[in-house]
Structure 1
């Protein structure tokens, strides 16, 4: 009898544990200070949403949207894998995006899963119709009080171009002295981003390593293999900072372990 009780308690514990690990959204806040940040953009808050993979966080994505709203974003960056190629449900993810665009300007780059659906044009059209800035190997300028910074986006390499070539296309008309923010799905391309002297890069893709080992880090990530280097947080290479979101949803591996879904808040400050 005791053995059955122990088994029952263990099963209940595992159900609760897995539910929390895959549905409890946390907010990770980072402050970035640099003399390169234009003074007019001091205090600008960027909220990064990544790797939703058609996951559901409450009715009409209410829990996710509330977390983003509470972060008081000036802009929202969506850094790929908004949908999942294994269970494509664009409408489910658009439920969140429709509400994001009411909170702030939204900028988006695709990930490998959008490419794998073979529905990139459909996704781009749906997002553009909502007012989302689709950053397909292009850049745009934000201006405050006569000062400027550039937001850049590059597509996933599965689209058939080298990342370096896409960056060259996107940055062709940006003055070298201008502060730059890049949306690029894959963190394993960090050396390329650094070589192009980008100031801050926002990536996802690694899912935090899927299973995080306390005191060690992520276990496995696409494009990086076992014990990947770039899974979560901030990384530095010369003058470039890489922001890697653990993301929100799952794909081939259905569960996160010690790896809560995450949105990132990144606040710029002039040093």
Structure 2
């Protein structure tokens, strides 16, 4: 009997290890008449909630996956570091290598704000060429056509997502929003944002087959927005399960992920 219990424990431990270190790729296709023809088939790679996790020496496993994807643009949607074990160099090891693959855009998560070192984090990223968006917008132009990118600062900075969205007028240009928090989905809908990239929920940490995530910050037990796509009116929100963990050190049925979005112009 003890032998079988030991074997079961070993199998469970191996399963948890693989489930917390193997990076899956979630592929999403987004179609819209507002997407300019020049951006048809463009791929966006979303990285979220690294939380100072390490995937190989100097993030080599993660970098190799991103190289294989070869995206047109990369979005980092917050919590690239963890305020409980703050190691900025670990994050820069990743960024320094992917900045040469595609343009990188970044917004803060709550953990960057919580370090009280957020200006240093932003400056370090800007120094290697990252587009750091602090309640700002940039126009991305290709073949004479444009899309708008908006970056929302995490509300731990003192201003709600709703307050920050008020800065941006509705636009005829297709609008991509980087914002760490998914629980305020209705705000993105109210301000007519086209496509929102979010994280923060860690996939619900423990995913129950058929039910979804168990708990998420800002949403509590059985959270609504934890993984995949959510739609209302003309707004689509993509929530990444993220890559790392914070206070809770393990995931269950919830592998770390990279999200790859392919844009399709109708």
Bucket of the pairwise TM-score, normalised by the shorter protein = over 0.9
2:14 is aligned, of 4, 13, 16, to 16
Where 1:153 maps in the other structure, the secondary structure is strand
Where 2:184 maps in the other structure, the secondary structure is helix
Structure 2: unaligned runs, 5 residues or longer: none
1:107 is aligned, of 98, 105, 109, to 105
Name the residue aligned to 2:223: 228
In 2, distance between residues paired with 1:131 and 1:9? Answer: 49
In 2, distance between residues paired with 1:176 and 1:96? Answer: 34
Count of residues paired in the alignment: 266
Moved more, 58-67 or 46-55: 58-67
Alignment of 1:41-80 (within 5 A): 41-80=39-78
Q: CA deviation at 1:101?
A: 0.1
CA deviations on 1:71-105 (whole Å, 9 max, x unpaired) are 12000000000000111011111111111101000
Moved more, 67-76 or 179-188: 67-76
1:254 is aligned, of 245, 249, 254, to 249
CA deviations on 1:213-262 (whole Å, 9 max, x unpaired) are 00110000000001100000000010000000000000011100000000
In 1, distance between residues paired with 2:63 and 2:219? Answer: 30
Where 1:229 maps in the other structure, the secondary structure is coil
Q: CA deviation at 1:4?
A: 2.8
Name the residue aligned to 1:207: 202
Q: TM-score, normalised by structure 2?
A: 0.98
Aligned-pair RMSD on alpha carbons? Answer: 0.9
Name the residue aligned to 2:91: 93
CA deviations on 1:120-140 (whole Å, 9 max, x unpaired) are 011001100010000110010
Where 2:3 maps in the other structure, the secondary structure is helix
Query: Post-superposition, which runs of at least 4 consecutive aligned residues in structure 1 deviate over 6 A?
Result: none
Structure 1: unaligned runs, 5 residues or longer: none
